[in-house]
Structure 1
């Protein structure tokens, strides 16, 4: 048998032996993967290296044999365990089969009763299902009729809403037109009143230019139309002239109180209209052309008692002043 020895890729590496200077040892690189090749050269190896090589090969073979034995024992254990489990499962299935056979052949009465009971329950459920199906059909029909009614009602309300909207637009237009008409009429009314006031002012101006009526200097109320004195009721009624600042004559009633109390005055008037102030062409300073109320001296010179006459004149001045303020407002 030929023996071959494989060395390292760098070749042989001669190493000098420290014990023998003339001896050179060669360290081989053995490949354990190749079991059929023995890496050595017989002519280059001595007897010692042959023995070492044979010992190494034997040791390797022994290791392989141990490894194979351990693998075989592991496989045997696994197979035995699998067989044990298979036998246990087979035994369990045999027991289940025997129990089922016993139930099948020993007694069938309880099973028949259960079957009949289940059949009755199925029949009852079918009847209930049929009843529910009928109720569902009726509910669908009712829902369809309600949907149609809802659609008709919705369309009717939409039409009514359109009519109401159209009516609202018409009424809005009419209201706008009437508002414009009222505005125009108000403007015309103000212009007419203004023209009437101007005409009355011009007429009063023409009247004031004429000579005034001769009156008695002893008359305290010569400028008023009427004067009524009621001595029994202790009250005086005075009608103001139409040429004053009032549109219509106003009435002032003076009640004479009892002893120790103040007099009471009741005044009533119509609507007020501002009239322009008229001036006499000859001047307002002369007593002959003055159309205002008489002075205090003339009032005191009348035949009435002084305290009552003074109070009445003061009340007339106050009422006239209040009417003027109302016209200004």
Structure 2
């Protein structure tokens, strides 16, 4: 009886931590939109997050005594680390912050969930021919649900804005949604089982630095130095999303790692990002509620994400 209670209690704790992680992950979309609305340079918004994350991650990995193996892994395959870190972190986040300049944060957050569909197709392509697994019909169905939700929201948004703004707010986010799983999955292949998640995240942050430094130079040339508020807000994004949310989510998955169903339920909690982002924009930016079509679109995206997670 006590063991059953412990298992149930562990699942509840994991679900709570997963929902809390989604809340902190959502801060990325809301704060990026706040900086965009206040006129902050998207180049600085993107670059500063990773510039802030670097010393924090360095400290965490150093305290854990794992810097040596990481530096050895990077040195042994430097060009691959530089390439896929730039795609997985650089292209992903730069396009995400650029898109935040042209659309509400809830729309960016919802559109970015296209990454689930992208990851589903990228995964088999990265496998060797003899080891490739087919895509299940259920996964295709759930992906179609997500895609329909995204299309519905875009159509709804197009009625309230120009076609050019809609494209500028959508296409970069879709590119980022593809770059994120592509870069991360390639790095997981390259790193193998030799590095943990913290080491890999630090390594990718470190190897994407040339991209961020270059983007910072463009930001300075176009807009000068970042404002104090932008420095503070990007620090919050780095801590909330890059560190706290990641730690919470990893902790949640670790608690139930031996229970596939519970693990799927924890992964499904990330669907709450869209809801938290919407609430954050309404509370902090006094944004209007999305219309009925957008609400249906958000619902389809969330349902598709949950079904995807549970099927896997």
Normalising by the smaller structure, the TM-score range is under 0.3
| TM-score, with structure 1 as normaliser | 0.20
Identify the structure with bigger relative contact order (alpha carbons < 8 Å, sequence gap 6+).
2
More strand by share: 1
Q: Choose 1 or 2 for highest CA Rg.
A: 1
More helix by share: 2
